[in-house]
């Protein structure tokens, strides 16, 4: 559907996006993941035609020609609304800006409000909308010219849990009929809504594929522990065991990545017991997407120092 070929974007001699290549297939919901400053917004803006790449091309697949923007709807990270308008007035106004006839604009506004699930609030001022409703209106606005690809920049990151659920449900519905590429730095959202992920770090794509493929490639056994007191001190002691490949601390828990989980479990429990470490939590499991994210980001951070 859309192909990015060796795209680079340079600002003030710094590469915000570094030679990225990927293909967006029809009917897929793809999460563009990465920490702050990874290059997600810049990539989306270049696909949307709002920013020119310094080098490389964004192309319609299968030799398609014409203005790529006709095929793309874009929801910016911070959408701007005229808060004094009603939802219906706003969509009508946006449709008119897209040179759609008055009559067609009215019809389209009604249809889209219904499609994104805010028809009941169509005559309410946007200033009275919740965060989730505003994002739904923003998505409706992005769909005004009936695009086949929707680019959503951080559509749920700024929302409370109710708004987040609301918009994730809408995305779940939209992915039945459109191709979706959305950016997020929240891993749970990527795990929940997407078929595929593209993980960006410092302007480069460092991992990609279906969630299953990516998980399979990186999944290793891990043991999660929490103690009363200084977690760093326990982490240091645990690292000395030969079966430990590496450790990290996330959300007050020590994650211990191991080669032989059965041996590790027995030895660690015995040691904790013998030394009377004040154990609060112990769990045997496997790595999550969050662990992969941390690992990739840390590995690349280390590369930078070499
Ligand atoms: N217009 C600009 N001028 C100069 N530098 C820019 C510009 N836009 C982005 N950058 C820089 O490019 C890099 C990538 O920014 P970008 O906004 O694409 O990242 P992001 O992954 O979307 O981050 P966030 O999650 O914080 O939105 C950052 O270092 C940023 O400071």
Quickly state the pLDDT bin for 281 (edges 50, 70, 90).
very high
A 10 A CB-CB count for 157 gives 13
Burial of 44 (0-12, 13-18, 19+ CB in 10 A): buried
Q: Which ligand 1 atom is nearest residue 43's CA?
A: 18
Q: Give domain 220-286's CATH number out of 3.30.70.100, 3.40.50.1780, 3.30.110.40, 3.10.180.10.
A: 3.30.70.100
Give the pLDDT of residue 38. 92
Separation between Cα atoms, residue 41 and residue 294, nearest integer Å: 21
Q: What is the mean pLDDT of residues 40-66?
A: 88
Give the pLDDT of residue 175. 87
Note the pLDDT tens digit of each residue in 211-227.
888 888 878 899 999 99
Separation between Cα atoms, residue 170 and residue 192, nearest integer Å: 13
Q: Is 184 in the pocket of ligand 1 (CB under 6 A)?
A: no
Give the pLDDT of residue 259. 86
The DSSP string of 269-306 is: HHHHHHHT--EEEEEEEE--HHHHHHHHHHHHHHHHH-
Q: Is 38 in the pocket of ligand 1 (CB under 6 A)?
A: yes
Residue 304 scores a pLDDT above 60:
no
Q: Rounded to whole angstroms, what are the CA distances from 74 to 141, 142, 183, 263? A: 9, 5, 12, 51
Separation between Cα atoms, residue 64 and residue 26, nearest integer Å: 14
Going by alpha carbons, the residue nearest to atom 28 of ligand 1 is 37
Give the pLDDT of residue 161. 85
CATH 3.30.70.100 boundaries in the chain: 220-286
Residue 24 scores a pLDDT above 50:
yes
More confident residue, 289 or 83: 83
Least confident of 66-70, 92-96, 105-109, 232-236: 66-70
Note the pLDDT tens digit of each residue in 158-173.
888 888 888 888 898 8
Give the pLDDT of residue 305. 47
Going by alpha carbons, the residue nearest to atom 24 of ligand 1 is 36
User: How far away, in angstroms, is 37 Cα from ligand 1 center?
Assistant: 5
Q: Is 16 in the pocket of ligand 1 (CB under 6 A)?
A: yes
Note the pLDDT tens digit of each residue in 134-144.
999 999 999 99
A 10 A CB-CB count for 229 gives 10
Separation between Cα atoms, residue 250 and residue 234, nearest integer Å: 14
Quickly state the pLDDT bin for 102 (edges 50, 70, 90).
very high
Residue 306 scores a pLDDT above 90:
no
CATH 3.40.50.300 boundaries in the chain: 2-215
CATH number of 2-215: 3.40.50.300
Note the pLDDT tens digit of each residue in 170-200.
898 888 888 999 999 888 888 888 889 999 9
Q: Is 155 in the pocket of ligand 1 (CB under 6 A)?
A: no
ipTM more than 0.90?
yes
Quickly state the pLDDT bin for 93 (edges 50, 70, 90).
very high
Residue 105 scores a pLDDT above 50:
yes
């Amino acid at each position: 559907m859309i192909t990015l070929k060796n795209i680079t974007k340079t600002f003030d001699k710094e590469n915000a996006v570094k030679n990225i290549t990927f293909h967006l297939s029809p009917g897929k919901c793809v999460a563009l993941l990465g920490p702050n400053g990874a290059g997600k917004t810049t990539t989306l803006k270049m696909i949307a035609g709002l920013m020119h790449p310094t080098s490389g091309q964004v192309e319609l697949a299968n030799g398609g020609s014409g203005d790529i923007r006709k095929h793309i709807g874009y929801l910016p990270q911070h959408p701007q609304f005229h808060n004094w308008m009603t939802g219906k007035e706003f969509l009508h106004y946006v449709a008119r800006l897209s040179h759609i006839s008055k009559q067609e604009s009215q019809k389209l506004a009604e249809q889209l409000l219904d499609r994104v699930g805010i028809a009941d609030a169509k005559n309410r001022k946007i200033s009275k909308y919740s965060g989730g409703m505003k994002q739904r209106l923003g998505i409706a606005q992005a769909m005004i010219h009936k695009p086949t690809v929707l680019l959503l920049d951080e559509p749920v990151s700024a929302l409370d849990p109710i708004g987040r659920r609301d918009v994730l449900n809408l995305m779940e519905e939209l992915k039945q009929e459109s191709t979706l590429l959305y950016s997020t730095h929240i891993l749970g959202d990527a795990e929940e809504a997407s078929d595929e992920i593209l993980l960006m770090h410092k302007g480069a794509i460092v991992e990609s594929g279906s969630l299953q493929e990516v998980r399979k490639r990186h999944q290793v056994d891990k043991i999660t522990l929490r103690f009363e007191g200084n977690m760093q001190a326990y982490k240091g002691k645990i690292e000395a065991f030969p079966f430990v490949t590496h450790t990290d601390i996330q959300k007050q828990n020590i994650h211990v990545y191991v080669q032989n989980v059965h041996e590790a479990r027995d030895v660690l429990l015995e040691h904790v017991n013998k030394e009377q470490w004040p154990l609060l939590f112990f769990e045997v499991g496997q790595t999550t997407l969050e662990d992969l994210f941390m690992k990739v980001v840390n590995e690349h951070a280390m590369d930078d120092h070499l």
